[in-house]
C-alpha cells in the first residue's frame, strides 16, 4: 500500500496550533505547498516562513548566553502570519522535522536561499550522498541466499531470494519504497541506481541457480557470523558445514 503525502498529526503543545490555524486553512497550506512541485521553491518558502529571534534570558555573567537564538515558524492565513510550533509546522506541510532542518541549512547568513545541487541536467554524479544512502539501504533490504555452486566457484556470490527478474524491476520497487520511507527525498534515476548496484553489490546476483540453493548452507552461514559463538562452536559449525557440502557433492 502506498501512503500518499498528507497533513501530519496535530501538535501536542499548549498553544494547540492546529486549532489556531484551522482545519480548512491547514489543508490549503498543505495543497499549495505541494502544488509548486519544485524543490527549490519549497525550500525557499520554508526558509521565508522561519525567523530567528534571540532568546530572552536572565542576565548572567556568561556572555555567550546573550547570543542564543530560537527559530519561530509561521504560516500565513489571510495575509496574517500565525506563529506555530515546529511540530505543527512540519505536520501542516506534510514533511518531517529533519526535512525542515535540512532546508534551513541551505541558506546564507543573510537568509538568501542556496540553490539545491542535486541531480542537475542528468549528471547523476552530483546526486547527493543522502540519495546514494537510500539506494544502498534499499538493495540491502532484500534477503539473499548462498548456493553450493557459487560457494565452490566464487564464494562471495549471493543471490537475491526474491522473484525479481531485472534491476529495472528493483528500481521500480525502490521508487515505491522511497516514497513510503523518505517522502521528502527525490528519487535518483534508474541509471544511477544501476550504477550503485554494479559498484557496491557486484557480488549480488539476481538469478539464483534453480536447484543449487540451499537453506542448510544459509543456516551455517548465519551461524558462522554470530558474534556470541565461541571459537570451538565456530570450528564445530565449520566442520558440520563441510560434511554437509561433501554429502551434497557426492549425493
CB of 155 to Zn ion, least distance (A): 13
The smaller minimum CB distance to Zn ion, of residues 140 and 243, is found at 243
Contacts of 4 (CB under 8 A, 6+ apart): none
CB of 80 to Zn ion, least distance (A): 17
The smaller minimum CB distance to Zn ion, of residues 17 and 145, is found at 17
Are 142 and 208 in contact by the 8 Å Cβ rule? The answer is: no
The smaller minimum CB distance to Zn ion, of residues 95 and 188, is found at 95
* Residues near Zn ion (CB under 5 A): 11, 13, 15, 17, 85, 88, 214, 216-217
Measured from each CB, the residue nearest to Zn ion is: 214
Total residues belonging to the chain: 251
Angle (deg, nearest 10), helices 190-200 and 167-181: 110
Dig out the grid coordinates for 251 from the structure: 549425493
CB of 145 to Zn ion, least distance (A): 10
CB of 223 to Zn ion, least distance (A): 13
The smaller minimum CB distance to Zn ion, of residues 160 and 214, is found at 214
DSSP string, 195-223: HHHHHH-TTEESSPPTTTB-HHHHHHHHH
Amino acid at each position: 500500500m502506498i501512503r500518499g503525502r498528507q497533513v501530519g498529526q496535530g501538535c501536542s503543545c499548549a498553544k494547540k496550533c492546529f486549532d489556531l490555524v484551522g482545519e480548512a486553512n491547514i489543508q490549503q497550506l498543505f495543497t499549495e505547498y505541494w502544488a509548486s512541485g519544485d524543490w527549490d521553491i519549497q525550500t525557499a518558502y520554508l526558509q521565508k516562513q522561519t525567523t530567528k529571534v534571540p532568546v530572552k534570558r536572565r542576565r548572567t555573567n556568561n556572555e555567550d548566553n546573550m547570543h542564543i537564538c530560537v527559530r519561530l515558524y509561521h504560516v500565513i492565513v489571510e495575509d496574517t502570519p500565525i506563529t506555530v510550533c515546529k511540530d505543527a509546522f512540519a505536520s501542516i506541510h506534510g514533511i518531517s522535522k529533519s526535512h525542515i532542518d535540512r532546508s534551513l541549512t541551505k541558506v546564507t547568513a543573510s537568509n538568501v536561499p542556496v540553490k539545491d545541487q542535486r541531480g542537475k541536467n542528468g549528471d547523476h554524479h552530483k546526486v547527493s550522498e543522502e540519495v546514494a544512502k537510500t539506494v544502498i539501504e534499499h538493495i540491502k533490504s532484500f534477503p539473499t541466499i548462498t548456493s553450493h555452486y557459487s560457494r565452490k566457484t566464487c564464494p562471495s556470490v549471493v543471490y537475491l531470494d526474491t522473484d525479481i527478474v531485472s534491476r529495472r524491476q528493483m528500481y521500480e520497487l525502490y521508487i515505491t519504497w522511497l516514497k513510503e520511507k523518505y517522502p521528502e527525498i527525490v528519487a535518483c534515476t534508474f541509471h544511477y541506481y544501476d550504477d550503485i548496484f554494479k559498484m557496491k553489490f557486484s557480488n549480488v546476483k539476481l538469478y539464483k541457480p534453480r536447484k543449487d540453493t540451499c537453506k542448510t548452507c544459509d543456516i551455517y552461514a548465519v551461524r558462522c557470523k554470530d558474534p556470541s559463538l565461541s571459537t570451538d562452536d565456530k570450528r564445530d559449525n565449520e566442520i558440520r558445514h563441510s560434511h554437509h557440502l561433501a554429502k551434497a557433492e557426492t549425493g
